[in-house]
Amino acid sequence: MAMKIPKSGLPQMLKDGYKHLSGLEESQFRNIAAVKELTQILRTSLGPNGRDKMVINHLEKLFVTNDAATIMKELEVIHPAAKLLVMASQQQESEMGDGTNFVVVFAGELLQQAEQLLRMGLHPSEVIEGYRVAGAKALELLEAAVVDEVKNAADKGQLMRVVRSSIASKQYGYEDLLATVVVDASLEVMPKNPVNFNVDSIRVVKILGGSIHDTSVVKGMVFGREPESTITKATKAKVAIFTCPLDVALTETKGTVLIHNADEMMNFSKGEEKNLEAGIKELADAGVKVVVTGSGIGELALHFLNRYNMLVVKVLSKFDLRRLCRVTGATALTRMGAPMAEEMGYCEIVETVEIGSDRCTVFRQEEEETKTATIVIRGGTQNSLDDLERAIDDGVNVIKAVAKDGRLLAGAGAVDMELARQLQTIGEKTAGLNQYAIKKYAQALEVIPRTLAENAGQDSTDVISKLYAAHSAGKATAGVDIESEEGSILDAKEKEIFDILSMRLFATKLATHAAITILSVDQIIMSKQAGGPKVKENKDWDNDD
């Protein structure tokens, strides 16, 4: 039988169910509209006056936060163009840990400005080329706009200046308190060469109750559970850490034991007991006072551990077990028995303390150096604790960034206005159609100071005009004063409001690249979704009502 040749035309050429969208209206403008919707959500969360979003995810977990990375992660965006922006913001979060909101808001504004040029009749390739030139120039100008530098990443005063700005954008009003906590914890674990600073060295433990002012730093680790043993405190203790269960040894294969009388039964169980006691006595003879296990503890083993006055803690997370090995200097053993001298750890104080209504076990070093510090945060609700943790996470990432590259830019929208002014001038001098795209790129940079002013309830047009006047007069560090009612401006360097150069460079690259990628799409071809129609959920099928 001869093969049937379909008629010409794309719909006939492809399988049934394919959708094909092309042209400015159907592809570019639709993509820009989707991105605009996403940007509008996050714009109101930018800066210290940013509003919180209430997000309920597919598991019905509630998030109340203004952290862009968390909002993006929980929203489950499915539009492909908007998804590109989500990916860019996730990349910023994983690489730098802060600046995600800037990526989304700036990329969204670039696309909105590009829409005007496309409607005027410019070809997308001309806009893309102009954005490419402007993006490369913006990175050069950022390098030249450095106003200060963190010369010593182990100096508390210098770190406080940069961490305070980062935390103020998440927890406005508590920035001094939280910055002090973050810097103290970071200095406890700061290596001799600050470039090697590890974010994982700082843990956060959230305990309900009390207020944010009860937040403290522990030089060591805190576990939210009590010891299994009757002993609850040990000082200057040798520590043995096991990943195996502390229990009677079981054979790997199934064995059958025939017991003929009561004496044989007694001797059989006594033999097991003696072996277990001998193993635990070995630990006691080696001087071990604290035993930590990542698995179960048998009742018989616990009885002997109590008899030999040892403190026993169960740590179920293998990651926490590794961190504890770093704090105490121990090696995690996979077998029961006495550790060798080099496998044992040392901890000055292991004690059970009551924090709020929770009883916690604290491993604390007083004189010794520790490789892990713990921030114990307190608060009234689980959501507020989660948000405090995100602010602290941003603060720690800022310290990591300045440890590698300490150069700082003026914050409060000052660096954006300076870039916008300089790019406008470059656009004026550029020949050809590129100049329109460069000018629009400069206008897009105004979105940060404009949003800061809008979120503070000020007249953004008035604030932008004042900033342009100040920057034209040579005040390169003039930024938005969000605390004034009439919308005046401030000197960001004087007020110590800083942005970190490395974070801004990475965010600018990502935002520009995301915008260019979306603009370069001219056709969307979608196949039919696999599978049949989705079955409707009927959660209350068993209700009598």
The residue among 464, 481, 462, 485 whose CA lies nearest residue 416 is 464
Length of the chain, in residues: 545
| Residues 351 and 431 occupy one common structural domain | no
| Residues 418 and 360 occupy one common structural domain | no
In terms of Cβ atoms closer than 10 Å to its own Cβ (0-12, 13-18, 19+), residue 526 is: exposed
Alpha-carbon torsion 324, 328, 329, 333, what sign?
negative
H-helix segments, 231-298: 262-285
| Residues 239 and 137 occupy one common structural domain | no
Q: What is the pLDDT of residue 173?
A: 79
The residue among 225, 221, 238 whose CA lies nearest residue 310 is 238
| Residues 24 and 91 occupy one common structural domain | yes
H-helix segments, 309-379: 318-328
Q: What is the pLDDT of residue 381?
A: 82
| Residues 329 and 261 occupy one common structural domain | yes
Within a domain: residue 196? no
Which domain CATH number covers 452?
A: 1.10.560.10
Within a domain: residue 390? no
**Structure confidence at residue 545 as a pLDDT band (50, 70, 90):** low
Strands (E), 373-446: 373-379, 407-410
Residue 134 has pLDDT above 70, yes or no: yes
CA–CA distance, 464 with 443 (Å, rounded to integer):
11
Per the prediction, the chain carries an average pLDDT of 80
- Residue 226 is given by DSSP the state -
Q: How many CB atoms lie within 10 A of CB 12?
A: 10
Q: How far is CA 187 from the centre of its chain?
A: 20
The more confident residue out of 346 and 246 is 346
Dihedral over alpha carbons 112, 117, 122, 124 (to 10 degrees): -10
Q: What is the pLDDT of residue 290?
A: 83
Within a domain: residue 380? no
Q: What is the pLDDT of residue 155?
A: 77
Which domain CATH number covers 339?
A: 3.50.7.10
> Which SS3 state, helix, strand or coil, does residue 348 take?
strand
Q: How far is CA 486 from the centre of its chain?
A: 35
| Residues 420 and 285 occupy one common structural domain | no
Q: What is the pLDDT of residue 414?
A: 86
Within a domain: residue 536? no
162, 500 Cβ separation under 8 angstroms: yes
In terms of Cβ atoms closer than 10 Å to its own Cβ (0-12, 13-18, 19+), residue 440 is: buried
pLDDT digits (tens, 9 = 90+) for 295-347: 777 777 788 778 888 888 888 877 878 888 887 888 887 777 777 877 788 88
Residue 213 has pLDDT above 80, yes or no: yes
Q: How many domains, in total, are found in the chain?
A: 2
CA–CA distance, 102 with 500 (Å, rounded to integer):
13
| Residues 415 and 509 occupy one common structural domain | yes
The residue among 364, 482, 448, 538 whose CA lies nearest residue 107 is 448
pLDDT digits (tens, 9 = 90+) for 409-446: 887 888 888 888 888 888 888 777 888 888 888 888 88
Tokens, residue 246: 């502390």
**Structure confidence at residue 248 as a pLDDT band (50, 70, 90):** low
User: Average pLDDT for residues 169-197, to the nearest whole number?
Assistant: 82
The residue among 177, 183, 46 whose CA lies nearest residue 507 is 46
Q: What is the pLDDT of residue 225?
A: 77
In terms of Cβ atoms closer than 10 Å to its own Cβ (0-12, 13-18, 19+), residue 145 is: buried
Per cent of the chain over pLDDT 90 is 0
> Which SS3 state, helix, strand or coil, does residue 465 take?
helix
Within a domain: residue 405? no
Residue 407 has pLDDT above 80, yes or no: yes
Q: Kindly report the CA angle at 16 between 14 and 18, in degrees rounded to 5?
A: 65
Residue 150 has pLDDT above 60, yes or no: yes
Residue 1 has pLDDT above 60, yes or no: no
Strands (E), 385-475: 407-410
Within a domain: residue 187? no
| Residues 128 and 25 occupy one common structural domain | yes
Q: How many CB atoms lie within 10 A of CB 307?
A: 13
Mention every residue, 6+ apart, whose C-beta is less than 8 A from residue 430.
133, 438
**Structure confidence at residue 249 as a pLDDT band (50, 70, 90):** low
- Residue 2 is given by DSSP the state P
User: Average pLDDT for residues 151-172, to the nearest whole number?
Assistant: 80
Longest CA–CA separation in the chain, Å:
104
| Residues 449 and 363 occupy one common structural domain | no
pLDDT digits (tens, 9 = 90+) for 79-97: 888 888 888 888 888 888 7
pLDDT digits (tens, 9 = 90+) for 346-397: 888 888 887 777 788 888 877 767 778 888 888 888 888 888 888 888 888 8
Q: How many CB atoms lie within 10 A of CB 435?
A: 17
| Residues 350 and 431 occupy one common structural domain | no
Please report how the helices 100-120 and 68-75 are oriented relative to each other, as an axis angle in degrees rounded to 10: 70
Q: Domain range spanning residue 275?
A: 220-369
CA–CA distance, 40 with 37 (Å, rounded to integer):
5
Residue 8 has pLDDT above 60, yes or no: no
Within a domain: residue 343? yes
CA–CA distance, 413 with 408 (Å, rounded to integer):
13
Q: Tell me, yes or no, if the pTM score tops 0.85.
A: no
Alpha-carbon torsion 251, 292, 319, 371, what sign?
negative
Q: What is the pLDDT of residue 91?
A: 86
Q: What is the pLDDT of residue 2?
A: 56
| Residues 225 and 358 occupy one common structural domain | yes
| Residues 53 and 103 occupy one common structural domain | yes
Q: What is the pLDDT of residue 538?
A: 65
User: Average pLDDT for residues 254-264, to the nearest whole number?
Assistant: 73
Q: What is the pLDDT of residue 536?
A: 66
**Structure confidence at residue 34 as a pLDDT band (50, 70, 90):** confident
> Which SS3 state, helix, strand or coil, does residue 183 take?
helix
The CA-to-CA distance between both ends of the chain, in Å, stands at 61
Q: What is the pLDDT of residue 17?
A: 64
Within a domain: residue 531? no
Mention every residue, 6+ apart, whose C-beta is less than 8 A from residue 450.
460, 463, 464
Q: Which amino acid is at 200?
A: D
32, 114 Cβ separation under 8 angstroms: yes
Q: Which amino acid is at 179?
A: A
